[in-house]
Amino acid sequence: MHGQRRRGSGPERSGATMRLFFAVWPPEETAEALHRWARRVREATGGRAVDACAIHLTLAFLGAFPESHLGKVLASARRAGAAPHALPLDAARQVARRGLVWAGPAQTPPLLEALATSLQAELRSEGFELDRREFLAHVTLLRQAGTRVELPQLPPLDWPVTEFTLVQSRLGSGPANYEILARFPLVAGERVSGDPAPPKSRASAGQ
């Protein structure tokens, strides 16, 4: 996410595990604008707005697997890539049965689709089994939302996608904490080479 592998699993499971995913992160001002929008929606729906510093778009979720496979994960990411591009967020949706409110592009940019497809293909080539559902570009902004409402229009936003990251999710009694482990810059016409990220927590996933 071995014998029979589970979603997001690696070739085998043993020893200490890590819970990892790949994501792109918005600029700080874009994240703050999305957070303000989510808090406005929360007044009507209830629930928990995702913290601005935890807002992200997931490209591939691996789940928990042994730390010994981290090298294969990094190698997969270095072979993946796409050109830098803009990510429009011009659609919002409330998924009532799951208590979620999210934003995303009305139409997924081809380069974002190419990045997710390339990354997932490289991970599978290393033996990682991922969710086979079609990639859905979305950014979760509200969790545990109750009342179904007509969502307000999203503000105009600027989200240039110039890199993607490998993130460790640390679970505890509250919302997950996210730590970026490596960054992979996007360069037109080239594959990427990941650089270790300085230790940094992106904070919790909700408030």
- Marked catalytic residue, from 35, 69, 85, 138: 138
Q: Is 83 helix (H, G, I), strand (E, B) or coil?
A: coil
Spatial neighbors of 66 by CB under 8 A, at least 6 apart, are 10, 12, 13, 14, 15, 16, 17, 18
Nearest to 60, CA basis, from 6, 143, 122: 122
Whether 85 is a known active-site residue: answer no
Neighbours of 36 (CB within 10 A): 12
Q: Is 91 helix (H, G, I), strand (E, B) or coil?
A: strand
- Marked catalytic residue, from 2, 35, 56, 85: 56
Distance CA 38, CA 98 (A): 16
Residues known to be catalytic:
56, 138
